[in-house]
């Protein structure tokens, strides 16, 4: 994907950043990598909730999505100070190019891929995502399809590595991501 990667990438990019749709497994995979490799696990949504003292759903409800996106951009700046961390991001982080310019500087960006139908299967009973709240099953499925088709090209564009997170066990996905990260760090990137 990218053609110029510094050999000492671990020094320049000391974190792993997970991007992908809601329900793509960023928290589970990120926690697994963190536990296995002694890296801190950080989540931009948690940073937002801690800094604002509000739940993500409350922020959407009381102040709307635009305000949430401002808080998300601030959270991106906060996590940019991390080292040796696995950073899970909210699914919409890629909507702001500045977020991604910043995160790409400090981390190896991994896109967790899942097809819209698989996302729907995982999210159909979820009530925590404001963008999918109060929708019938049919409307929820349509909304996931719509968000996915708008965002998939952005997830692709901003990632150093993409991996399907549907068929193999989480521990294996975590291992593959960490190996890829290390290979990049050692300048052994076969994708260049």
State which of positions 91-120 bind ligand S3P (CB under 6 A): 91-92
- Residue (16 or 56) nearer to ligand S3P, CB: 56
- Cβ partners under 8 Å of residue 109, min gap 6: 17, 19, 100, 103, 158, 159, 160, 161
Stretch that binds ligand S3P, among 74-82, 84-92, 133-141, 180-188 (CB under 6 A): 84-92
Binding residues for ligand S3P, rule CB under 6 A, total 10
H or E element that contains 21: none
Residue 177 has φ and ψ, to the nearest 5°, of -65, -45
* Helix, strand, or coil (residue 18): strand
- Distances in Å between the alpha carbon of 117 and those of 123, 131, 162, 180? 10, 17, 18, 27
Query: Least separation, in Å, of the C-beta of 154 and ligand S3P?
Result: 11
Query: Which residue in the set 25, 30, 34, 90 belongs to the binding site for ligand S3P (CB under 6 A)?
Result: 90
Build a one-symbol-per-residue string for 126-155: x at contacts with ligand S3P by CB under 6 A, - elsewhere.
Answer: ---xxx------------------------
Q: Which is nearer to ligand S3P, 129 or 184 (CB)?
A: 129
- Contacts with ligand S3P by CB under 6 A lie at 22, 26, 45, 56, 90-92, 129-131
């Amino acid at each position: 994907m990218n053609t110029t990667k510094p050999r000492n990438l671990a020094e320049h990019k000391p974190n792993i950043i997970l991007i992908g749709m809601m329900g793509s497994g960023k928290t589970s995979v990120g926690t697994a990598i963190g536990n296995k490799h002694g890296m801190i696990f950080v989540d931009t949504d948690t940073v937002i909730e801690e800094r604002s003292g509000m739940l993500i759903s409350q922020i959407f409800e009381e102040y709307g999505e635009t305000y949430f996106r401002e808080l998300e951009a601030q959270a991106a700046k906060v996590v940019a100070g991390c080292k040796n961390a696995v950073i899970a991001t909210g699914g919409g982080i890629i909507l702001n190019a500045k977020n991604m310019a910043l995160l790409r500087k400090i981390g190896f960006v991994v896109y967790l891929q899942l097809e819209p139908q698989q996302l729907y299967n995982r999210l159909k009973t979820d009530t925590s995502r404001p963008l999918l709240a109060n929708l019938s099953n049919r409307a929820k499925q349509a909304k996931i399809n719509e968000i996915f088709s708008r965002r998939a090209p952005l997830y692709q564009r901003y990632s150093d590595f993409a991996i399907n997170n549907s068929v193999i066990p989480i521990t294996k996905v975590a291992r593959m991501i960490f190996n890829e990260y290390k290979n990049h760090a050692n300048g052994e990137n076969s994708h260049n």
